[in-house]
Structure 1
Amino acid sequence: MTARQLAARMGVGPSRIPVIEEAEITGATTLKTLRQAAAAMNCAFVYAFVPIEPLDEILRERVIKMAQKDVARLDHTMRLENQALLKSDLDAEQQRTIDLILSGSLRGVWDEEREHHA
């Protein structure tokens, strides 16, 4: 389809098509304009967020970081009380914490406050 044909289908002047294309390239276009262009080409406009990594991996990485911070805080407290835990105990506690978080409500996993104070 030529720019002139697309313009006619969209009900705009032919000079508008390069402006629309440039706005898309620079990120300045609107969703409304993209929907209109798609409809003019008998297409569905799809706007989506696509994770870079699988969501379960993203979630697991986030939970691991939370558990590491929790266990580091526990380790620090135990050391202050002269009751340091063995690395194997810390590793086991970290895994227990990961399992506990993953088996419960995941609503708090994405809280920034939780990340900074865990």
Structure 2
Amino acid sequence: MKRDTRQRARLRLDERLSVLKPEDRFRPPPKGWMRAIRDAIGMTGVQLAARLGVRPQTVEAIEKSEASGSVQLSTLRRAAEAMDCTLVYALVPNSSLENAVHQRARKIAIRALQRVAHTMRLEAQETGDAGMEARIEAYIRDVLKDRDLWNEP
């Protein structure tokens, strides 16, 4: 996939995911979404168990596993459908995907250019900080490949 194709894909995803900001609006209730929805619609655990074809104790276990964050998505999806809901699952980046890629590229470029500057300083060929931004952008544009951004932690 070419760099500009990836960039367009990132920008489209950023646009789609922006409606999920701020993500704290989707923080689950203390007992989990399943229990909150079930209580809000007046459905008992026994009734949900019957709709799922499981024992009432299983519903309780599922609700506890959701609240603790260990529920399986397939199980949560089945429970949602049994309550006439749709499970929505998303990974919401902390910043835009475009910004994350740019910041990562910038960090790698600065690290590489600092090594070069150190070597040049040792050889008394220091270039100074003038034009550093231009060198960083040139390094990102000319040297870095998208696949190289995530090789290091």
TM norm structure 2: 0.64
- Show the counterpart of 1:67: 109
Which of residues 113, 125, 141 in structure 2 aligns to 1:99? 141
Contact 1:75/1:90 (<8 A) preserved = no
Report 1 or 2 for greater relative contact order, CA contacts < 8 Å, sequence distance ≥ 6.
2
Alpha-carbon RMSD across the aligned residues, in angstroms, is: 1.9
Please state how far the C-alpha of 1:77 moved relative to its aligned partner.
1.0
- Show the counterpart of 1:81: 123
Which structure's CA Rg is the greater one?
1
Supply the distance in 1 between the matched residues of 2:74 and 2:114 (Cα, whole angstroms): 49
The gaps in structure 2 that reach 5 residues or longer are 1-42
Counterpart mapping for 1:1-118 below 5 A: 1-100=43-142, 105-112=145-152
Please state how far the C-alpha of 1:4 moved relative to its aligned partner.
2.4
Supply the distance in 1 between the matched residues of 2:133 and 2:75 (Cα, whole angstroms): 53
TM norm structure 1: 0.80
Supply the distance in 1 between the matched residues of 2:104 and 2:141 (Cα, whole angstroms): 13
Moved over 6 A (4+): none
Please state how far the C-alpha of 1:13 moved relative to its aligned partner.
1.9
Please state how far the C-alpha of 1:15 moved relative to its aligned partner.
2.6
CA distances 1:15-69 after superposition (whole Å, capped 9, x unpaired)? 3222211111112222231122122123333332211111011111101101110
**How many residues align structurally?**
111
Please state how far the C-alpha of 1:8 moved relative to its aligned partner.
1.2
Q: Greater CA deviation, 59-68 or 32-41?
A: 32-41
